[in-house]
Structure 1
Amino acid sequence: MKIKVLDITHTFQSNIVEKFDAISNVKFNINENEYIGIIGPTGSGKTTLIEHLNGLLIPTKGSVEFDYSITKYNKKTKSEKVINKTKVIKKSWKKIKNINEIRRLVGIVFQFSEYQLFEETVEKDIIFGPINMGISKEEALKIAKESIVKVGLDVSFLNKNPFELSGGQKRRVAIAGILSMKPKILIFDEPTAGLDPEGSYEILKLFDQLSQEGTTIIIVTHDLDHVLEHTKRTIFIRKGKIIKDGPTLDILSDEKLLIENKMSIPKIINLTNRINRKYQMNIPYCTNVDQFTKIINKIRKEKK
């Protein structure tokens, strides 16, 4: 599935006089199987932007184009047929046909998504979406088992009350509910908020696994260490506009850019800069501790 964001602006109007452009003339593409980080200062328009990526918000100006395919099953011939589709969302459309088709393929997991859990068992929460899509209860129950295992929980969790689970487990159940709709693109808004280091590690490990399986992953976060280690591309938003869009390492190693926008420099980048300045070295930038350790060990061996 591909998404083209074509010069969109979203204007919020608090009253007849005051208007505010949360995002303005934003343009970019999302290709299949990308792993993208969306970053920017608080209030820069990140959440407003992602809400346009599955039709939760309609742009005031511009449009969002979705190119995707669905598989139709013919009961008579007992065969499957792949149908390619293009859908455009824009302001002039009073009603968008089959918008739920888009929302199934583009799943958004909001910050503290576990607060969206409402059923008495985990199983009922997970099957709620598929059943509302028209899937039989028997098939939905099968999907629930697959989804709970995919997020790293045992099938025994299906019979548990979601409100008795830990914060990390609730987050996983919420993600399982989105996965049960078999999305092509998954968007996470501050996915590690409120989680301890172990919980954050496990959630990000899950995202890496989903990415390797072919799902496009987009994370919106202030934690630039996570963006550096896990994503390949970063979109930097400031005051509702994209100011940078490119390889994650290139953007997050731009110390001047981050300082000007009051963003914390990733720890590995900051450490590399300090060592290079103090010891007149030229250690290359890397994205995680393992890479950094290998580089340092190689330098030590060369100096012996």
Structure 2
Amino acid sequence: MKIKLMNISHTFESNINEKFDAISNINFDINEHEFIGIIGPTGSGKTTLIEHLNGLLIPSKGEIQFEYFIEEVDKKTNKLFKKEKIKVIKKSWRKIKNINEIRKLVGIVFQFAEYQLFEETIEKDIIFGPINMGIPREKAKEIAKEMIVKVGLDESFLQRSPFELSGGQKRRVAIAGILSMMPDILVFDEPTAGLDPDGCKEMLKLFDLLNKEGKTIVIVTHNLDDVLEHASRTIFIKEGKIIKDGNTLDILSNEKFLLENKMSVPKLISLTNKLNQKYQTSIPYTKTIDEFVELINKIKERG
């Protein structure tokens, strides 16, 4: 699936007729198999932006184009085939036809995952989406078993109440519920907030795995260390507008730019800059600790 955002804006209106432009003139594409980090100061419009990606919000201006395939049955041969579809969402469309097709293909997991859990058991929560998509209950239960393991929990969790879980476990269950609907694109809002270091590492490892399996991943986060290591592309939003969109390393290695925008510089970038300044060297920037260590060892070997 591909998503194209064209000049979209969203204006909120209060009860006293005050207006606030949360995002303005946003233009970018989300392509298949990308891993994108969306960053920016608090209140910059990041969450408002991602709520447009599956029709939770409708743009006040502009339009969003979704390109995707659905399976249909050939009436003559009775065989399944894939049919390309293009759906456009814009303000003038008060009722969006077949919006569930979009929401099935674009799954969003918000920061407070407990708000997305409501059933008596974890199994019921996970199978809710598939059953509403027309999948038989027994097949949905098999999907639930597969997805609970994929997110790092075992099958024994399925009969437990989601409200007995820790914050990190609830987030995993919410992800399992989204995965059960087989989306093409997964969007996560502050996915590691409140998790301990091990929990953060495991969560990001899951995202990498899903991306390697062909899913498009979008994460909204303030943790630029995570973005540096995992995202290949970064979109920087400030005051509702995109001010940078490009290669993650290029954007996050610009220490001056980050500091001017009150963002924390990734630790690896800061360390590299300090070493270059202290020893008058030109050590290249790296995305991970392993890459950095390997590079330093090569430099030491060369003397």
User: Could you say which TM-score interval applies, normalised by the shorter chain?
Assistant: over 0.9
- Bigger CA drift: 95-104 or 76-85? 76-85
Shift of 1:292: 0.6
1:56 counterpart SS class? coil
Aligned-pair distance for 1:115? Answer: 3.4
In 2, Cα distance between the equivalents of 1:244 and 1:263?
Answer: 14
Alignment-derived partner of residue 138 in structure 1: 138
Shift of 1:116: 2.1
Query: What runs of 5+ residues in structure 2 fail to find an aligned partner?
Result: none
Which residue of 1 is the match for residue 183 of structure 2? 183
Over the aligned positions, Cα root-mean-square deviation in angstroms equals 1.3
| SS of aligned partner of 2:115 | helix
TM normalised by structure 1 equals 0.97
The equivalences for 1:58-73 within 5 A come to: 58-73=58-73
The 2-side partners of 1:109 and 1:201 are apart by: 18
AA aligned opposite 2:65: E
Distance in 2 of aligned mates of 1:92 and 1:167: 39
Aligned to 1:107: 107
Q: Distance in 1 between matches of 2:63 and 2:185?
A: 19
Matches within 5 A, 1:157-168: 157-168=157-168
Contact kept, 8 Å, 1:8 with 1:26, in 2: the verdict is yes
What letter is aligned with 2:249? Answer: L
Cα deviation, residue 16, structure 1: 4.9
> Deviation above 3 Å: which 4+ runs of structure 1?
73-78
Give the C-alpha shift of residue 74 in structure 1. 6.1
Gap regions ≥5 residues in structure 1 = none
| Partner SS state of residue 283, structure 1 | coil
* Superposition map of 1:57-136 within 5 A: 57-73=57-73, 77-136=77-136
Q: 1:192 to 1:75 in 2, by over 3 A?
A: farther
Instruction: Name the CA shift for 1:95/1:230 in 2 (closer, same or farther; >3 Å).
Output: same
Amino acid at match of 1:223: N
Q: Paired residue for 1:239?
A: 239
Between 233-242 and 130-139, the greater mean CA deviation after superposition: 130-139
Q: Scaled by the length of structure 2, what TM-score is found?
A: 0.97
Note if contact 1:112-1:193 (Cα within 8 Å) is conserved in structure 2: no
1:281 aligns with 2:281: yes
Give the SS at the match of 1:57. coil
Give CA-to-partner distance per residue, 1:74-132, whole Å, 9 cap, x none: 69955211111000000011110000110110000000213321212110110011112
- One-letter identity of the residue aligned with 1:21: D
The answer to whether the 8 Å contact 1:114/1:173 transfers is: no
Partner Cα distance (2:77, 2:135) in 1: 20
Which segment is superposed worse, 140-149 or 48-57? 140-149
Partner AA of 2:92 in structure 1: S
Instruction: Find the counterpart in structure 2 of residue 173 from structure 1.
Output: 173
**SS at structure 1 position matched to 2:246:** strand
1:3-24: CA deviations, max 9, x gaps?
0000001001113542111000
Which residue number corresponds to residue 203 of structure 1? 203
The C-alpha deviation readout for 1:132-186, integer Å capped at 9, x for no partner, is 2222112211111121121122122212222222322221111000000100000
**What amino acid maps onto 1:4 in structure 2?**
K
1:200 partner SS: helix
Alignment-derived partner of residue 150 in structure 1: 150
Task: Provide the rounded CA distance (Å) in 2 between the counterparts of 1:17 and 1:122.
Answer: 43
Please give the per-residue CA displacement for 1:207-229, whole angstroms capped at 9, x wherever unaligned.
00000000000000000000000
SS at match of 1:262: coil
Structure 2 residue matching 1:66: 3-state secondary structure = strand
Structure 1 segment 20-59 matched on structure 2, within 5 A: 20-59=20-59
> Paired residue for 1:298?
298
Q: What secondary structure, in the 3-state scheme, does the structure 1 residue paired with 2:214 have? A: coil
- The whole-number CA distance in structure 1 between the counterparts of 2:73 and 2:47 is 36
Q: Is the Cα contact below 8 Å between 1:123 and 1:158 reproduced in 2?
A: yes
Aligned residues: 303
